[in-house]
Structure 1
């Protein structure tokens, strides 16, 4: 056979197996597989996971190619173990037409590092006034199924209801950036004793929670799918838990930075820690970890938000919101959820592959590691440690909040439909 044979990998962190890849699919799983004419991958002590899927990535192209491009963003994704990312719509021009989403989709296909699935805007120009061409984007070659004004909230309840009703026709989902704008005017950080101490305008938890409460009721009323972006507070977790107990069709994501970092870091006034929604309290961090562990929160999504240096290396009030996340996501999840005993590796595969693929309706991704399935595979070394360096990235930007921290684990290989997009050359040797 031709292709690859991965030797002695721990499938989902459990059984040690060989995995044969041929013609882009998993051809066999077992022990002592024949490797004639194949390249062998020495995967001793490595964990084999399905290719990760990110439901929330900013690739900035078109319009802000100084911060990121589809190519550099997808390279960063591959280095993080992702084989599919959903590219958010807040580009310039905004991805609110079939033409723009198809452009992003085609750039991803040309790059070949991972599938790039565009997210369509809910409103024209993210203006919040009238619905964008949702049906046209859904019918385009990109086949858009996720729509979001992320970066801005669809704050008009009537417009949000109409969007939820509209996407039912093609099984779409509205991904809401839950932020009541009037409650967050000029907000700079999480509202609490620390914001008062630092003299920074507070960002109250209720600004997020009020929109979530409204939208789950709207979703229930119209019988449509709602997804909550970057959930960050204890109250939000409780609202989501209540909504699911009522059978409301709602899903939610938490970011790696909201699983690990707290608002105490803002004491430094370093804009690297300025993000939307803001870093929250230690109690909120504990609550979102609990919500992810018990299934209230469905997925981990990176909200990878690259910015050029001049937009971050400035005074706090003038700095842009956002952090890098693709290349460190799996390590942060290992540290906060796996090493603490809150999730198994099989559950990580659900939260970072199967579930986001299901929400985004990308049927060729998030598939199990089984014979006949696409060979979207990540090999991960959980025993490795690394000191994160801002310059060690495939991204064009350097706004990495983990720079200088020691994180566990390392992605050593990523396969997209049997093609290695990341591969440590020391692991591979041709069979003779």
Structure 2
């Protein structure tokens, strides 16, 4: 049997500790499967005294990830520290510069520095694996980078943040407000004390940017994503969606168009009978549409110690099975030097249409004024419903519009025109509607 693959783990939090326990408890099975033992040779963590449920006394301890990356006697540097800058970035750069393989779960790091890091890894002839960076335990990176070779991908989309999916699921199933669901998510550990990064869509955007590069062979463009979170989704929106046959999910969507690549993260209404609408709680789902395979949907745990550790372990196992001098799969699917510049798509029609909820004062002519604004902006309506409003003010009514395919620009102009009419009793709500072809 070949010599042991020596790994160093930077970060022994929930994921790092879970990974260490698996590596130790299943050492014999992994040695047989990978053709060589995998040994934890070094670790780095702030607290050496904390009980992590695994004996790490044989590993060399380092005070900082950078020190471990620069000097440890290891073959693979596993970065589980997090953050786009700081210790994680410096340590990964140092490890690659030394010619070490790197495994990371750090989506923020890859979204900001992924192309540059890929270039260094490819120049050094080492692997930079990051399956755990997107959708937890779902093997979507391997699918796009390797399994779908030869396919032309037209669209990638999905539910990529368990916190948001948990909140929206609880709102629908239990009739709770957004605020109440968020507090419960924080109590259960699904949401951070400061949940902004999750609920405003930033986490999903980082993951989407990585998938976009793998799917379309362009440079990572995390700053070119239209971003909208779920903090303005109300229980009224949840109820209206249900009545219309939809459920609301926070989706990340990337698709190829004639004018470039479109990337967007926003709340979305999906048909209640679609498969992706059935993905509840902290579960993630990623759909890929391609010319040869057609449509593929992968569903599974999107976060948590074991799920993420499983993805990290899969990356380590790939390295253990590789042989020196063997042809390496490009880090981002396409060699870093060959990635095309990102070209942002021009505004185009959104095929699924839009849901627009307006709370208006109960005055004569309001209904006609709303319809006129739609017509003046070339928006065709699939349905328009007026109902009494249950909240204050007491003389307000709710108007719900569902449009046919139209552009974002047209919808925004129509809503701006409606807002100038001085008859709104609340902020308009606009939500896109997606109708997956088969999922």
- Tell me if both proteins adopt one fold, taking TM over 0.5 as the criterion: no
The TM-score with structure 1 as length reference comes to 0.31
Which gives a bigger RCO, structure 1 or 2 (Cα 8 Å, sep 6+)? 1
Greater CA radius of gyration, 1 or 2? 2
